Structure 1
Amino acid sequence: MALENQTFNSGFILLGIFDHSPTHIFLFSLVLGIFIVAFLGNTIMILLIYLDTQLHTPMYFLLSQLSLMDLMLICTTLPKMAFNYLSGNKSISVAGCATQILFYTSLLGSECFLLAVMAYDRYIAICHPLRYTSLMSPKTCGLMVASSWILGSTDGVIDAGATFSFSYCGSREIAHFFCDFPFLLIISCNDTSMFEKVLFYCCIIMIVFPVAIVLVSYSRVILAVIRMGSGEGRHKAFATCSSHLTVVGMYYGTALFMYMRPTSNRSPTQDKMASVFYTIFTPMLNPIIYSLRNKDVARAFMKVVGKGKN
């Protein structure tokens, strides 16, 4: 009991992923650069969509919400990791750890559902264009986005609450660069097998169910595109959907790898690399993927830049 109280009062130690060797200093600098690009890219996307009235459509509203989630996600994990590395202080308080788990899992869950909503939006736009305005009205779109936030936040509250209902009476060291509940379960002195089973079923709802919606939506989109008589229309439809499919493949793939495996089969190195991918690289790639071939976003950017010069 004394050890349990000591651990709970003093918090945890985040071992991180970098040491102070020349190679790791370079990698840390690279990650910091990626963080800056992701922060600026997502912030610019949100501002462009907010400022340009021509981008006030369901598709771009959903994209602004994706950028907001990615922006919050990198700010939940990266600043603390950078501070610990630069200061040499690897500790994190219990409150700080619980806050990271709450926000991190909430944002992951919200983004899972939002990507499914975005797939449904593309399905309606391509397969039912004449009914798009009524089926994706501002009210309907707002309700679907709010549902994504609520469902994700509910999952975050459950995961954070359950994680800190266990006792941590041994090592305070977390083999990660931020607090993630699978890594805390490893160092718990309680039997967490029941929670792992519940977590597995939660993942089916939070990950597999949205993936099913994405697969059904895009299977119908592909069939509709194949039936198109116009080569130009077919090319435009594929270009519109390819960016979303790229994001979906990266995001759901790593999420399934991370959270659909039992704790006993986990490799800390593999999990850390997967976490780096979807907490650092994916938020950076999303605005690039969505804006690289998007003429509307490029036009809005040039318009804002032109006003700034004037």
Structure 2
Amino acid sequence: MSEACTHDCGNCSSDCGERTAPQSLNNANNKGVKKVIAVVSGKGGVGKSLVTSMLAVSAAKKGLKTAILDADITGPSIPKSFGVHEKATCDEAGTVMYPPVTKSGIKLMSLNLLVENETDPVIWRGPVIASAVKQFWEEVDWGDVDCMFVDCPPGTGDVPLTIFQSLPVDGIVVVTSPQELVSMIVDKAVKMAQMMDIPVLGIVENMSYFKCPDCGNVHYIYGKSHVDEKAAEHGIDTVAKLPMDPQVAAKVDAGCAEDLDVSELSAIAQKIEDIQK
């Protein structure tokens, strides 16, 4: 909290002007987590969960112990992307949860692993959602994790603010798409990260272009990209551009995220790996 605050900033929607240290949320359940990377977007529908999944797959392929905390409480999609439908378990006292693990060993925690039916809606207000994210961090036995990726909900509201203030976030990856409107919203996400004093490790532009499988011509469905200029404007030196690819959507829908080609994100993945604690 800033000096002027007299309340728990992590449970409010106020912009208190600066990032605070984690609010006593580090405990035996998460002490083995070495790095925390938040994946954010200024708006929904740009492929943030896809990028989260791809970064986690990339880390796991390098032999790193990897986890995903799905903080998109009202729109959780991570378990389905990995074909994980088993429910999370807990200890006899019901105070510690154990995350399911994907085929390649990625640990997952998502609200969809707790509700009875995956399609049940979550009709909660912001403070309750923020509290659930804190519980995922505090009450899940994460064990030893080299890199945890947090799939944040879109925007700059309660939950991203809670994550930035309550979890020891080491860096942020911003996901966007080529539309001019989205470029404006990228500014908001980057500026929020700067206000919270968290480094932006890179920008991923999803749906950047479409390459015709027949003729090989590249088409810019949403217009020419301006992400390089936007990155330079903010001093961000790592940019990845992902094409529109029906095969990617098919693999994610089939729960085969671990089969995705993640080479386009290699520069950002390397930057994450190079973070010194």
Is TM-score (shorter-chain normalized) higher than 0.5? no
More helix by share: 1
Higher strand share: 2
